[in-house]
Amino acid sequence: MTNMTMQLESPAAFRTMADLSNEMGDIPPERILLNPAPGTATEQDVLDLDDHHDRLCELIDGVLVEKIMSSRESILAVAIASLLHQFIAGKKLGFVLGEGGMLRLRPQLVLIPDVAFVARKSLPGGKFPDDAIAPIAPDLAIEVLSKGNTPAEMARKRKEYFAAGTRLVWEINPKGRSVKAYSAPDKFTLLTHNQSLDGAPVLRGLKINLRELFAELD
Amino acid sequence: MTNMTMLLESPTAFRTMADLSNEMGDIPPDRILLNPAPGTATEQDVLDLDDHQDRLCELFDGVLVEKTMGARESMLAAVIIRIIGSFVTPRRLGFVFAPDGMFRLRPRLILIPDVAFVARKSLAGGKFPDDAVAPIAPDLAVEVLSKSNTSDEMARKRREYFAAGTKLVWEFDLKARNVRVYTGAEKSVLLSRNQILEGSPVLRGLKINLRELFAELD
């Protein structure tokens, strides 16, 4: 009964698997969960999957999408988190989140950036929330690209980040040993070789040399 | 609440789009419907889709898969219907079905062959049931292969047909201008356009000249 009602009333956001694939940026199909039914998943499902099944999934308007990160990408994520942490140590600037930090950017939208920084002044009362999924947007979001990430998927994430208040997004490309530093969803600077990532306007004074960063992989 | 329960109890907790695609024989994703949620669709959904949305979908254990048929495939089906009809009618052998005849082979399994024949002697009391979806297996099922059919998909259909009591399956390949005659799910003989297609064991005495048959498409 319920299914019939749903079918007749719901605008049926995803009529076919092709629609869903398209909406999610044509990422590899093994990353898109069908249980719960796409469009009906909630934050609680994100938590349950992590707690009980050890799977990290982002939530995009009711669709659960598994996060992928290989060990190599993790090496870079840790290196960057470490540099961020060193920079803010003692300055009381805010908080650095590692892999697995779940952030609710808006209802039904939970992203898990590879590394994130949340400025103290962005937090109510300067305190980091207690929730399992923090209801805040990071000031700086860092994504280390994997083979299974598509341009359409990343474009959508950037849109969500910036719409929620993020001011800087870094997309690290381990293969190309380059970084795209975004100040808006489609506005970026490409950095490679011996150039440095600049933490401004979020972390003024922070500079990360790319040659040294990517050398962590060698 | 329901979603959580499903997630924790269901053996298909991690079903992803890749799993579903694989189960369905890796057919094009635009043929697999997500509404109702895969695994929950029923016969009523098959009927509703046909009645209200003019879409013909087969049902595989609760998953709706759209049937595709192009004009040329339809043309061939029409010719085959005519030929079988001419043989069957004067002899009162049974009933011939066009490409929208729905057959329930078992609970939650509804196939819609391109052409089907049900022998009178296969029917209880020699009468054809009144249901919108006939609760029987056709004696002969004819499938005209489309570009969007995959070999895994067809193999699964054949398994279902033969398990349900179908005695003969013909798979026509328009492009190659041949037909594979199956007397078992994996037991077949390939006939080329120079050969004669015989109706036995279901329609003894029926002989179709394949050259003439395919010539009708030109």
pLDDT digits (tens, 9 = 90+) for B183-213: 999 999 999 999 999 999 999 999 999 999 9
Phi (first) and psi of residue B123, to 5 degrees: -100, 140
Q: Which residue of B has its CA nearest to A40?
A: B3
Helical pair A43-53 and B2-9, crossing angle rounded to 10 deg: 20
Contact B30 A31 (CB under 8 A): no
* pLDDT tens-digit series, residues A67-95: 988 899 999 999 999 999 999 999 999 99
Over residues B155-178, the mean pLDDT reads 97
> Judging by DSSP bridges, how do beta strands B207-209 and B196-198 pair with one another?
antiparallel
Question: Is the pLDDT reported for residue B83 higher than 70?
Answer: yes
Q: Which residue of B has its CA nearest to A36?
A: B3
B51 part of contact set with chain A, CB < 8 Å: no
Q: Which residues of B156-166 are buried (b: 16+ CB within 10 A; e: fewer)?
A: bbbebbbebeb
- Quickly list H helices, chain B: 2-9, 17-23, 43-53, 71-91, 151-164, 210-215
A112 three-class SS: coil
B23 part of contact set with chain A, CB < 8 Å: no
Strand order of the β-sheet with A63-66 is A63-66, A57-60, A109-111, A103-106
Peptide bond into A11 cis (omega under 30): no
B34 part of contact set with chain A, CB < 8 Å: yes
Quick one: CA dihedral B45, B46, B52, B53, positive or negative? positive
Q: Which residue of A has its CA nearest to B12?
A: A35
Question: Is the pLDDT reported for residue B6 higher than 50?
Answer: no
Contact A53 B41 (CB under 8 A): no
CB of A52 within 8 A of CB of B8? yes
Structure tokens at B107: 């609970």
Question: Is the pLDDT reported for residue B5 higher than 70?
Answer: no
Query: Residue with structure tokens 């280390």?
Result: A144
Please tell me which of the candidates B12, B18, B36 has its beta carbon nearest to residue A35: B12
Q: With a cut of 50, list the residues of chain A below it in pLDDT.
A: 1-11
Domains of chain A (ranges, CATH numbers): 2-66 (no CATH), 71-215 (3.90.1570.10)
Phi (first) and psi of residue A65, to 5 degrees: -125, 125
Contact A37 B37 (CB under 8 A): yes
Chain A residues with CB-CB distance to B1 below 8 A? none
Q: Give pLDDT, residue A10.
A: 42
Chain B residues with CB-CB distance to A35 below 8 A? 6-7, 10, 12-15
Angstrom distance (rounded) from CA B194 to CA B114:
23
Kindly report the number of other CB atoms within 10 A of residue B215's CB atom: 12
* pLDDT tens-digit series, residues B19-64: 999 999 999 999 999 999 999 999 999 999 999 988 999 999 999 9
Over residues B62-74, the mean pLDDT reads 94
> Rg for chain B (alpha carbons), in Å?
18
Peptide bond into A36 cis (omega under 30): yes
A-interface mutation test, from B6, B16, B47, most A Cβ less than 10 A away: B16
CB of A77 within 8 A of CB of A144? yes
B-interface mutation test, from A5, A10, A17, A108, most B Cβ less than 10 A away: A17
Quick one: CA dihedral B109, B110, B114, B116, positive or negative? positive
Q: Give pLDDT, residue B199.
A: 98
Question: Is the pLDDT reported for residue B11 higher than 80?
Answer: no
What residue type is assigned to position A205 of the chain? Answer: G
Peptide bond into B201 cis (omega under 30): yes
Domains of chain B (ranges, CATH numbers): 2-66 (no CATH), 71-215 (3.90.1570.10)
B146 part of contact set with chain A, CB < 8 Å: no
Contact B36 A45 (CB under 8 A): no
Q: Give pLDDT, residue A12.
A: 55
Helical pair B43-53 and A2-9, crossing angle rounded to 10 deg: 20
- CA B207 to mean position of chain CA atoms: 22
Q: How far is B142 from chain A (nearest CA, A)?
A: 26
Angstrom distance (rounded) from CA A69 to CA A148:
9
Angstrom distance (rounded) from CA B24 to CA B150:
9
| Percent of chain A topping pLDDT 90 | 88
Contact A35 B7 (CB under 8 A): yes
Contact A34 B31 (CB under 8 A): no
Closest-CA residue to B95 (of B123, B124, B75): B123
CB of B4 within 8 A of CB of A45? yes
Element (H, E) at B187: strand B187-192
ipTM: 0.86
Q: Which residues of A21-52 are buried (b: 16+ CB within 10 A; e: fewer)?
A: bebbbebbbbbbbbbbbbbbbbbebbbbbbee
Chain A residues with CB-CB distance to B34 below 8 A? 14-17, 19-20, 34, 37-38
Angstrom distance (rounded) from CA A105 to CA A114:
15
Contact B17 A12 (CB under 8 A): no
Closest-CA residue to B35 (of B45, B25, B20, B21): B45
- CA distances B10 to A1, A45, A176, B101, B138, Å, are 20, 14, 42, 34, 34
Q: Which residue of B has its CA nearest to A47?
A: B4
CB of A113 within 8 A of CB of A97? yes
> What is the pLDDT confidence band of residue B12, given thresholds at 50, 70 and 90?
low
Q: Give pLDDT, residue B13.
A: 56
